Amino acid sequence: MRGLRAPGWVLAFASLVYFFLHAPLLVLVAFSFNDSKFSAGFEGFTFHWYERLLERSDVLEALKMSLIVGLGSTLVSTVLGTLFALGLSRRKFRGRTALESLVYIPVVTPEIVVGISLLLLFVTLGVELGLPTILVAHIAFNISFVVVVVRARLEGMDRSLEEASLILGADEWTTFWRVTVPQLWPGILSGALLAFIMSFDDFVITSMVSGPGSSTLPIVVYGMVRKNIEPSINAISTIILVLTSIFVFAADRLSNTGGSSSR
């Protein structure tokens, strides 16, 4: 006997759930190529809706803004989060339990509360909303996620290699870059990937702390959904789906080559 066995009706039920998970997105993608404005039935293949997107300067601007915000906040939150995780991984010290609980606060706080509280802060301080406020907000919620992912990797890591390196004459700086970072690399990459996707996807928090002229892609897409601009939304959704899939796939390959196991 080989452990769990799934009976036929469970398999059938699970297939239905898989269908429920994937069919809506497949339909969305299919209709981005539909040659009809009132998308009732499929009436022929076209790239027209993609061409229409290229004519919209706000979409391209927003894509650029999303990439800037995503890369910027990922860079900062990955560095701060990795250092934070390394600090937590030291042996017990006063305040560690409190820090560990603190890490989970951003993970459980509803996005709308995060967004509104940051808006309150910026308004109270009289800060103008724009790219800097978006970056500050995204870094603030991303640090925790990086800490959680990197810590998971640190727990399975052999710390005696660092000791060996120090005893054999490398200083802390060299040890960090030549021993700690290579071992930790898959964890750092996974953390960075999670941070980038969270940032690239975020609508709720961004919509609270962005000002005029600093709209990210989700904000423009939200506007399109509200105004029912069709089927251009299908086209932009398809582009977002393809971009994230490529990104997830690439990052997965990268983190698999970086270490013995990625999880």
Partner 1 sequence: MSSSSPSPFRAPASGLVALRRRFFALFRGRPETTAWTLVGPGLSWMLLFFIGPLLLMLFYSFKQRGVYGVVVDGYTIEHYLRFADPLYLGILWRTLKMALSCTIICLLLGYPVAYVIAAGGRFKNLLLFLVVLPFWTSFLVRTFAMIFLMRDTGLINTTLLSLGLIDEPIAMLYTPFAVMAGLVYGFLPFMVLPIYTSLEKLDPSLLEAAEVLGARPVARFLRVTLPLSMPGVAAGSLLVFIPSLGSYLTPDLLGGAKQMMIGNLVQNQFTSARNWPFGSAASFIVMALVLVAVVGFLRKRDAGPGSVL
Q: Which residues, numbered 86-115, are part of the site for partner 1 (CB under 8 A)?
A: 86-88, 90-91, 93-96, 99, 102, 105-106, 108-114
Interface region with partner 1, contact rule CB under 8 A, candidates 51-59, 184-192, 237-245, 253-261: 237-245
Map the footprint of partner 1 across residues 121-150, applying CB under 8 A: 121, 124, 136-137, 139-141, 143-144, 147
Looking at 12-20, 50-58, 67-75, 182-190, which segment touches partner 1 (CB under 8 A)? 12-20
Smaller CB distance to partner 1: residue 185 or 203? Answer: 203
Q: What are phi and psi of 57, to 5 degrees?
A: -70, -30
Q: How far is the CB of 87 from partner 1 (least distance, A)?
A: 3
Please report whether residue 35 would count as binding partner 1 according to CB under 8 A.
Answer: no
Q: How far apart are CA 88 and CA 105, in angstroms?
A: 16
> Are the C-beta atoms of 216 and 69 separated by less than 8 Å?
yes
Reduced to 3 states (helix: H, G, I; strand: E, B; else coil), residue 34 is strand
The DSSP output letter for 178 is: I
Count interface residues toward partner 1 (CB under 8 A): 92
What CA–CA distances, in Å, run from 73 to 115, 194, 197? 16, 11, 11
d(CA 66, CA 87): 31
Residue 67 binds partner 1 (CB under 8 A): no
* List 221, 232, 235, 255, residue binding partner 1 (CB under 8 A): 221
Does 222 bind partner 1 (CB under 8 A)? Our answer is: yes
How many other CB atoms sit within 10 Å of the CB of residue 21? 9
